[in-house]
Structure 1
Amino acid sequence: MKWQERKAAPLSQELIDEYQLSPLAAKLFSLRGIDTAEKLNFWFTATEADLADPYLMHDMDKAVDRINQALDSGEKITVYGDYDADGITATTIMVEMLGIMGGDVHYFIPNRFKDGYGPSLDRYKEIVADGTKLIITVDNGVTGLEEVAYAQEHGVDVIVTDHHTFKDKMPEACAIVHCNYPGQAYPFDDYCGAGVAYTIARAVLQDTASEFLELAMIGTIGDMVKVSGEGHVIVKRGLELLNQTARPGLRALIANAGLTMGQIDETDIGFKIAPRLNACGRLDDAALAVKLLLAETPEEAKQLADRVEKLNTERRELTAQTTLEAEQQVVKQGYQSQATLTLYDPDWHEGVMGLVANRIADEYHKPTLMLTKNGDGMIKGSGRSSEKFGFNLFDALKPLEGTTLTQFGGHDYACGLSLTLDKLDQLREDFEGSFQKQDHLQETVKQYDGEIKPLDVSLDAVSQLALVGPFGTDNEAPVFSVTQPKISGFRAMKKGCSFNVANVRAIDFDHKITEMVLPFIDKLYVSLSTNTFRGKTSVQFQVAGVHYGQPIYLAQQKVVDFRQQEDLLGFADKYLLFDPKNAQLAQKRYGIPAEMLTMAKDDEDLSEQIVTVLDVPANPDQLNFVLAKDYKQLYLRFQLDRLPGKQLPGREAFGRVWEYFRAHPGQKANNYLQAAGQLGLKPEGLLFILRVFFTLDFVKMEGDKLVPSPNLTKKSLNDSGYYRSVKAQIAFVNRLRTISTNELLRYANGLSRRRI
Structure 2
Amino acid sequence: MKWKERTSKELAPELVEKYQLKPIAARLFALRNLNTAEKLEYWLNATEEDLADPNLMHDMAKAVARINLAIEHNEKITIYGDYDADGITATAIMMETLEILGADVHYFIPNRFEDGYGPNLAAYKKIVADGTNLIITVDNGITGVEEVAYAKHKGVDTIITDHHKMQENVPDCYALVHCNYPGQKYPFDDYCGAGVAYTICRELMQDPMPELLELAMIGTIGDMVKVSGEGHIVVKRGLEVLNQTDRPGLKELIKNSGLQSGQIDENDVGFNITPRLNAVGRLDNASLAVELLLCESEAEVQKIADKIENLNEQRKDLTAKVYKACLQQVKVNNWQSRKTLVIYSADFHEGVLGLVANKIAEELHKPTIILTKNRAGIIKGSGRSVANFNIFNALDSLKQNLFLKFGGHDFACGLSMEESKIVTLRTEFEASYDIHESTVVKYYDFELPFTHLSLDIMHQINQVGPYGTDNVKPIFSISNLEISSCFFMGKDKNHIKLTLSQKNNKLEVVGFNKKYITKGLLPYINQLFIQLGENNYRNQVKLQGIIEGIVFSAPKFLFSTPVIDLRQEKHVMGFADRYLLFDKQNLEVASNSFDIDSKKITLIDEYDNDSDREVVVFLDTPHNQAELDQALSKNYKQLYLRFLLDQLPIKLMPAKKYFEVLLKYVYQHPGLEINEYRQVAPFLGIDYQNILFIMRVFYELKFITIKQNKIWGIKNPEKKALTASKYFCAIQSQLNFIQQLRQMPSEKLLMYVNQQLKNNN
Shift of 1:742: 0.5
Which residue is equivalent to 1:85?
85
For 2:199 and 2:328, the matched residues in 1 are separated by 48
Shift of 1:672: 5.3
Which residue is equivalent to 1:459?
455
Aligned partner of residue 489 in structure 1, secondary structure = strand
Shift of 1:459: 0.1
Question: One-letter code of the match for 1:685?
Answer: N
Aligned partner of residue 347 in structure 1, secondary structure = coil
Question: One-letter code of the match for 1:468?
Answer: V
Shift of 1:634: 0.7
Distance 1:620 1:79, change over 3 A: same
Shift of 1:712: 8.1
Distance 1:449 1:752, change over 3 A: closer
Question: One-letter code of the match for 2:737?
Answer: F
**CA RMSD, 1 decimal:** 2.4
Shift of 1:590: 1.1
For 1:469 and 1:691, the matched residues in 2 are separated by 62
Moved more, 690-699 or 732-741: 690-699
For 2:179 and 2:685, the matched residues in 1 are separated by 55
Aligned partner of residue 61 in structure 1, secondary structure = helix
**Cα shift readout 1:240-266 (whole Å, capped 9, x = no counterpart):** 111111111111111111211111110
**Is residue 408 of structure 1 aligned with residue 411 of structure 2?**
no
**Is residue 470 of structure 1 aligned with residue 456 of structure 2?**
no
**Is residue 504 of structure 1 aligned with residue 512 of structure 2?**
no
Which residue is equivalent to 1:72?
72
Distance 1:536 1:37, change over 3 A: same
Which residue is equivalent to 1:448?
444
**Contact 1:333 / 1:681 at 8 angstroms: preserved in 2?**
no
Moved more, 420-429 or 706-715: 706-715
Aligned partner of residue 601 in structure 1, secondary structure = helix
Aligned partner of residue 608 in structure 2, secondary structure = coil
Distance 1:45 1:363, change over 3 A: same
**Is residue 617 of structure 1 aligned with residue 616 of structure 2?**
no
Shift of 1:589: 0.9
Distance 1:710 1:297, change over 3 A: closer
**Is residue 629 of structure 1 aligned with residue 629 of structure 2?**
no
**Contact 1:323 / 1:360 at 8 angstroms: preserved in 2?**
yes
For 1:423 and 1:157, the matched residues in 2 are separated by 40
Which residue is equivalent to 1:326?
326
Which residue is equivalent to 1:103?
103
**Contact 1:699 / 1:706 at 8 angstroms: preserved in 2?**
no
Question: One-letter code of the match for 1:4?
Answer: K
Which residue is equivalent to 1:169?
169
**Contact 2:574 / 2:595 at 8 angstroms: preserved in 1?**
no
Distance 1:257 1:162, change over 3 A: same
Moved more, 729-738 or 643-652: 643-652
Which residue is equivalent to 1:152?
152
Shift of 1:686: 3.3
**Cα shift readout 1:416-449 (whole Å, capped 9, x = no counterpart):** 2333333344444444x336x4235441111100
Moved more, 221-230 or 721-730: 721-730
**Cα shift readout 1:217-254 (whole Å, capped 9, x = no counterpart):** 00000111111111100000001111111111111111
For 1:635 and 1:348, the matched residues in 2 are separated by 42
**Is residue 394 of structure 1 aligned with residue 398 of structure 2?**
no
Which residue is equivalent to 1:127?
127
Shift of 1:98: 1.1
Question: One-letter code of the match for 1:692?
Answer: V
Which residue is equivalent to 1:41?
41
For 1:430 and 1:719, the matched residues in 2 are separated by 39
Which residue is equivalent to 2:581?
577
1:719 is matched with which residue: 709, 721, 724? 724
Instruction: Give runs of aligned pairs for residues 245-644 of structure 1, distance below 5 A.
Output: 245-387=245-387, 390-431=388-429, 433-434=430-431, 437-494=433-490, 495-502=494-501, 503-512=506-515, 513-605=517-609, 607-644=612-649
For 2:532 and 2:584, the matched residues in 1 are separated by 43
Distance 1:309 1:476, change over 3 A: same
Question: One-letter code of the match for 1:611?
Answer: V
**Contact 2:319 / 2:356 at 8 angstroms: preserved in 1?**
yes
For 2:333 and 2:277, the matched residues in 1 are separated by 36
**Contact 2:382 / 2:413 at 8 angstroms: preserved in 1?**
yes
Which residue is equivalent to 2:243?
243
Aligned partner of residue 218 in structure 1, secondary structure = helix
Question: One-letter code of the match for 1:280?
Answer: V
For 2:721 and 2:392, the matched residues in 1 are separated by 48
For 1:144 and 1:731, the matched residues in 2 are separated by 63
For 1:37 and 1:664, the matched residues in 2 are separated by 81
Aligned partner of residue 574 in structure 2, secondary structure = coil
The alignment's TM-score, normalised by the length of structure 1, stands at: 0.94
Aligned partner of residue 755 in structure 2, secondary structure = coil
For 1:284 and 1:647, the matched residues in 2 are separated by 46
**Contact 1:429 / 1:670 at 8 angstroms: preserved in 2?**
no
For 2:748 and 2:436, the matched residues in 1 are separated by 38
Q: Any stretches of 5+ residues in structure 1 without a counterpart?
A: none
Moved more, 289-298 or 648-657: 648-657
Distance 1:471 1:126, change over 3 A: same
Question: One-letter code of the match for 2:415?
Answer: L
Distance 1:184 1:716, change over 3 A: farther
Moved more, 306-315 or 141-150: 306-315
For 2:148 and 2:571, the matched residues in 1 are separated by 53
Moved more, 164-173 or 517-526: 164-173
Which residue is equivalent to 2:755?
750
Aligned partner of residue 278 in structure 1, secondary structure = helix
Which residue is equivalent to 1:229?
229
Q: Any stretches of 5+ residues in structure 2 without a counterpart?
A: none
Shift of 1:144: 1.1
Which residue is equivalent to 1:213?
213
Identity percentage of aligned residues: 51
Distance 1:752 1:260, change over 3 A: closer
For 2:723 and 2:396, the matched residues in 1 are separated by 46
Aligned partner of residue 3 in structure 1, secondary structure = strand
Shift of 1:173: 1.1
**Cα shift readout 1:244-293 (whole Å, capped 9, x = no counterpart):** 11111111111111211111110110011111111111111100010110
**Contact 1:425 / 1:674 at 8 angstroms: preserved in 2?**
no
Aligned partner of residue 136 in structure 1, secondary structure = strand
Tell me the matched-pair count: 748
For 1:296 and 1:410, the matched residues in 2 are separated by 37
Shift of 1:371: 2.7
Shift of 1:396: 3.7
Question: One-letter code of the match for 2:384?
Answer: R
